[in-house]
């Protein structure tokens, strides 16, 4: 199964609402099961540098089917995945990337959010990902 | 002046409607005045390879403030801009990229569309660009 | 609002004077609000490798609208933004990049300086950025 | 011998004046004998996509110590240098790049200009290059 555009747009809508609720300005990217971009939105005034980061977070979350922050714990100096960020044209491994599942729990894509603290980025990504459950 | 997300989302909505009318499946990208992505949508079943092309078309249209097809006429063998496509990390110079203007005629961004014939790509881009006039 | 060339050239002039005062040789880059290069100068004898660093510092400062050194504090091992440098085709997150504001406080671009200690790089960037206030 | 910053800034000053005389808006890049950027200026309203092209033209002119347009004649389909543009991270081989010589005829760098027709680009590059003779 793969995410469809209607789902991706609903994810972005929910993520934007959560971002506004948190008083943040986010870049929001949704990729499909093939880790390719399906939908994207940059909220007015959001950091320009977060554009690429949001897409890389979404890809990273789907590349390994886990939250990006989990990978970041393993990629630290001395960790088992030290500097894994050098692969795949650049991973982002701090929080803000979350796999997207359908109602049966199958991973159908991922969302990446960037534009605030990693806590806020993750909260918005979680909110967005919940839209397809 | 710079495009805002609400305008970019309206552009994508209109472009999707035009694409459906033409019975095509498109990748649609909108960039701002700085040639940075603002919004993107890949319609279900659209060519995967058109994802990058749609973004490059939008960037190319803003890079030179003209329709991408105009550049392609000049970049042919023997033309004055032969192989200009090697610049800017890759340009796409066939039709489907169109500058986006506000109601006063100021360029505020660009749209890039890819997924069908260049005639259809251009028609959908034109439809999308008209949403902000 | 966006920086104009005359402002960018004044920034470089002031930055060069500060660099000479500190007895250093700098690469100085100024980008606009879209993070695209507007003006650049490499002082005679300045490190060649600092050319790219100065441009990346300017871009990084505009990408996140803050001094580059602030990001570097968060991108350390164990930090919340560990290895953020892998995004955006390479960030530089040690000091020397500073946002450029107009007289009303609006960010209109950024300056990046590289060629000496990070303390000197930052001092020259600050001097340059002050030219538009 | 190598170009110094003072010469590069004089080249840009003369090139800007020529550009204004021709009623054009140019991106102007000057590289040294090592093909590395020394000075750059983007005139207000100049095409954004010409930024990279102007730098690539300057590099190309110094890479081969000849006007870029000469290479472009040889890189056409069937030509002896067909698609040489794929080398060096992208060459630009249409007019607008010109070697810069000192008063004794030694090549000390190159200028690249982009922003108008190739005829205007070349005329501005020639004007700039003449500043060091």
Residue C103: other Cβ atoms inside 10 A? 7
Average pLDDT, chain D: 97
Determine B/C contact with 3+ CB pairs under 8 A as the test.
Answer: yes
Query: What gap in Å lies between CA D117 and CA D47, rounded to an integer?
Result: 12
pLDDT at D46: 97
Render pLDDT for B37-80 as a digit per residue (tens, 0 to 9): 999 999 999 999 999 999 999 999 999 999 999 999 999 999 99
Residue ranges per structural domain of chain D: 5-132
**Has residue C1 got a pLDDT over 80?**
no
Contact B98, B125 (CB under 8 A): yes
Query: What gap in Å lies between CA A128 and CA D117, rounded to an integer?
Result: 48
CB within 8 Å of A58: residues ≥ 6 apart: A29, A30, A31, A35, A37, A97, A109, A110, A111, A112
Q: Searching chain C, which residue's CA lies closest to the CA of residue B37?
A: C34
pLDDT at D1: 78
> Which one-letter DSSP state was computed for residue A35?
S
Interior CA angle at D112 toward B31 and D119, to 5°?
A: 90
The ipTM (two decimal places) reads 0.96
pLDDT at D102: 95
Q: Do A37 and B38 touch (CB under 8 A)?
A: no
pLDDT at B133: 85
Query: What gap in Å lies between CA B25 and CA A38, rounded to an integer?
Result: 13
Query: What gap in Å lies between CA B31 and CA B125, rounded to an integer?
Result: 13
For residues A71-86, average pLDDT: 96
What is the Rg, in whole angstroms, of the alpha carbon atoms belonging to chain D?
Answer: 13
If one looks up domain D5-132 in CATH, what number appears?
3.30.450.150
Quote the tokens at residue C13: 């002039």
For residues D24-42, average pLDDT: 98
Strands D27-32 and D37-42: antiparallel
Band of residue A133 on the pLDDT scale cut at 50, 70, 90? confident
Quote the tokens at residue B30: 């909108």
Query: What gap in Å lies between CA A25 and CA A4, rounded to an integer?
Result: 25
Residues of A in contact with C64 (CB under 8 A): 47-50
Give chain C as a DSSP string. ----HHHHHHHHHHHHHHHHHTT---EEEEEETTS-EEEEEE-TT--TTHHHHHHHHHHHHHHHTS-HHHHHHHSSTTSTTTTGGGSTT----SS-EEEEE-TTS-EEEEEEEESS-HHHHHHHHHHHHGGG-
B35–chain C Cβ distance below 8 A for any pair: yes
Residue D98 β-bridge partners: D111
What distance in Å separates residue C32's CA from the closest CA in chain A? 12
**Has residue B1 got a pLDDT over 80?**
no
Residue A38: other Cβ atoms inside 10 A? 32
CB within 8 Å of C125: residues ≥ 6 apart: C15, C57, C95, C96, C97, C98, C111, C112, C113
Q: Searching chain C, which residue's CA lies closest to the CA of residue A89?
A: C86
Residues of A in contact with C83 (CB under 8 A): 72, 75, 83, 85, 92-94
Percent residues over pLDDT 90 in chain B: 98
**Has residue D114 got a pLDDT over 80?**
yes
């Amino acid at each position: 199964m793969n995410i469809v555009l209607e789902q991706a747009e609903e994810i972005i809508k929910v993520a934007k609402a959560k971002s506004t609720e948190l008083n943040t300005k986010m870049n929001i990217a949704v990729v499909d099961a093939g880790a390719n971009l399906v939908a994207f939105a940059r909220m007015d005034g959001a950091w320009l540098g977060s554009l690429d980061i949001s897409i890389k977070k979404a890809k990273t979350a789907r590349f390994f089917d886990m939250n990006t922050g989990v990978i970041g714990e393993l990629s630290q100096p001395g960790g088992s995945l030290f500097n894994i960020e050098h692969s795949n044209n650049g991973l982002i491994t701090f929080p803000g990337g979350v796999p997207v599942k359908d109602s049966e729990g199958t991973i159908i894509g991922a969302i990446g959010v960037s534009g605030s603290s990693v806590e806020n980025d993750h909260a918005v990504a979680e909110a967005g990902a919940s839209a397809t459950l």
